[in-house]
C-alpha cells in the first residue's frame, strides 16, 4: 500500500506503523562528507555560527535530501547549543572539538535558564524555515542532547573517552549534579516543545555517552532524566513522538525503552540484531544500526549487512539508520548504494 499523499512514512513508523521497506535517515547526514556542506561551512568562523544562522543552517539541513531519497531531514544544530544558551560559552577548536570552561560545583548559579529559549531563537527559526521548504512526505526531526551527555561536556569542558570528570563529579557532588540535571531537564523540555511548535514532527534525544555507567548510574543519570523529559514534553504536547538514542546502553536498553516512554529506540551498531529483535517489545520502534565504517568500506559486506538489518527487524516498526554518525571520509557513491539497497532490496 503506498502512503497517502501527505503521510510521512518515517513519522508513521515512529508512531508504530510497520512498513514493507523501512524509511531511513542517516545520523549526521548534513555533514562533512558532502562537498556542498564543506562549502557552506567554510563561510563561517566558529561551528556554532553555522548553527545560529537560520539561512545557512536551513541550507545544510536540506542538502542531503537533494542528493538522496531519505525520509527525514534533521535540524542542523549541535547538542551544545543548550549549555551555550545557558550562558556557559562553547567554542569549537579545529581538530579538538568543543571546548567549554568546566563547570564548578558552585558555578550553577551563573547559568541562565530563563534566557536560554530566547538565545535559541535562531535555531527555532531554522526549524520553521526547513519545515516550509520540506516536501510533505518528509519528516522533520528536531533534537537535543540528553542531560547526562550534555553534562559530561559542561563538567569536563570537552569530550573525553571515559567521561571521568563528570562521573567523579556525580559521585562526589550528588546535590550539585542533581541541580544541574534539573536545569537541563527543564530547559530541554521547553526547547523541544518549542521545536515541535516551530514545525518538528518528531524529536530525538541524543544520549551519546550512555556507555561507561554501571546499572545504578545508568538508571539515575540516563533513564530518569530522559523519562522526565518525555513526561514533561507530553504534559505540554500529548503524544509528542520521541526517539531515544542511548549510545552504548547495551544490557540496559530494554529497561531504557520500558521506563522512559520513548516511541522508538536508536540502536548503536554494537547492539546485536538478535538481541534487539528477540528481547525488545515488538511494538517498540527500532532505529539503526549499520556500522558507519561498513559504509566507508562499501561493497558486498556493506550490502549484506544492510539487508541483514532490514531482515532482522522486518515485521516491526523499523527506521533504517547508521548505528552512529556518518564519518567525513564516506564516499557519496556508497551512500547512494545504501539507499538503493534499503529501499529497493
Query: Residue 178: how many CB atoms within 10 A of its CB?
Result: 12
For its own copies (CB under 8 A), the number of binding residues is 38
Burial 148-159 (b: 16+ CB within 10 A, else e): bbbbbbbbbbee
User: 129 or 305: whose CB is closer to its own copies?
Assistant: 305
296 touches its own copies (CB under 8 A): yes
Asked if 262 and 222 touch (Cβ cutoff 8 Å), the reply is no
Tell me the closest approach of the beta carbon of residue 297 to its own copies, in angstroms: 4
272 touches its own copies (CB under 8 A): yes
Tell me the closest approach of the beta carbon of residue 246 to its own copies, in angstroms: 12
Residue 19 corresponds to which cell in the numbers above? 512498513
Asked if 142 and 136 touch (Cβ cutoff 8 Å), the reply is no
234 is catalytic: no
334 touches its own copies (CB under 8 A): no
Q: Which of 33, 37, 52, 78 is catalytic?
A: 78
Which of 44, 108, 179, 293 is close enough to bind its own copies by CB under 8 A? 293
Q: Which residues contact 35 (CB under 8 A, 6 or more apart)?
A: none
41 is catalytic: yes
Considering only residues 34 through 73, tell me which ones interact with its own copies, judged by CB under 8 A.
none
Considering only residues 205 through 264, tell me which ones interact with its own copies, judged by CB under 8 A.
211-218, 248, 250-252, 255
Give, to the nearest 10 degrees, the angle between helix 332-344 and helix 300-312: 40
32 is catalytic: yes
Tell me the CA distances in angstroms from 138 to 4, 7, 15, 216, one per residue in order.
Answer: 13, 9, 15, 39
307 touches its own copies (CB under 8 A): no
User: 119 or 255: whose CB is closer to its own copies?
Assistant: 255
Query: Residue 217: how many CB atoms within 10 A of its CB?
Result: 14
Sign of CA dihedral 58, 61, 66, 70: negative
Considering only residues 127 through 186, tell me which ones interact with its own copies, judged by CB under 8 A.
161, 164, 167-168, 171-172
341 touches its own copies (CB under 8 A): no
> What positions carry a catalytic annotation?
28, 32, 41, 78, 153
Amino acid at each position: 500500500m503506498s502512503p497517502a499523499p501527505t503521510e510521512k512514512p518515517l513519522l508513521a513508523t515512529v508512531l508504530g506503523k510497520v512498513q514493507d521497506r523501512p524509511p531511513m535517515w542517516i545520523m549526521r547526514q548534513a555533514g562533512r562528507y558532502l562537498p556542498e556542506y564543506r562549502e557552506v561551512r567554510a563561510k563561517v568562523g566558529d561551528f556554532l555560527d553555522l548553527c545560529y544562522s537560520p539561512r545557512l543552517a536551513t541550507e545544510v539541513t536540506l542538502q542531503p535530501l537533494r542528493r538522496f531519497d531519505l525520509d527525514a531531514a534533521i535540524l542542523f544544530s549541535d547538542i551544545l547549543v543548550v549549555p551555550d544558551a545557558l550562558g556557559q560559552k562553547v567554542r569549537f577548536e579545529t581538530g579538538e572539538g568543543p571546548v567549554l570552561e568546566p563547570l564548578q560545583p558552585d558555578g550553577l548559579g551563573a547559568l541562565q535558564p530563563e534566557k536560554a529559549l530566547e538565545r535559541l531563537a535562531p535555531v527555532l527559526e531554522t526549524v520553521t524555515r526547513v519545515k516550509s521548504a520540506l516536501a510533505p512526505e518528509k519528516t522533520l526531526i528536531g533534537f537535543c542532547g540528553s542531560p547526562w551527555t550534555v553534562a559530561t561536556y559542561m563538567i569536563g569542558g570537552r569530550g573525553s573517552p571515559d567521561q571521568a570528570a563528570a562521573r567523579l563529579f556525580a559521585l562526589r557532588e550528588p546535590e550539585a549534579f542533581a541541580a544541574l540535571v534539573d536545569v537541563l531537564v527543564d530547559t530541554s523540555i521547553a526547547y523541544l516543545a518549542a521545536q515541535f511548535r516551530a514545525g518538528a514532527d518528531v524529536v530525538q534525544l541524543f544520549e551519546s555517552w550512555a556507555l561507561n555507567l554501571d546499572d545504578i548510574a545508568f538508571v539515575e543519570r540516563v533513564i530518569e532524566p530522559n523519562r522526565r523529559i518525555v513526561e514533561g514534553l507530553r504534559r505540554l504536547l500529548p503524544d509528542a513522538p520521541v526517539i531515544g538514542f542511548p549510545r552504548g546502553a547495551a544490557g540496559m536498553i530494554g529497561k531504557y525503552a520500558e521506563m522512559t516512554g520513548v516511541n522508538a529506540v536508536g540502536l548503536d551498531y554494537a547492539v546485536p540484531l538478535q538481541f534487539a529483535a528477540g528481547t525488545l517489545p515488538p511494538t517498540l520502534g527500532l532505529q539503526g544500526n549499520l556500522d558507519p565504517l561498513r559504509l566507508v568500506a562499501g561493497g558486498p559486506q556493506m550490502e549484506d549487512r544492510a539487508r541483514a538489518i532490514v531482515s532482522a527487524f522486518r515485521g516491526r516498526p523499523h527506521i533504517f539508520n547508521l548505528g552512529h554518525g556518518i564519518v567525513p571520509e564516506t564516499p557519496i557513491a556508497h551512500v547512494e548504494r545504501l539507499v538503493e539497497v534499503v529501499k529497493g532490496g
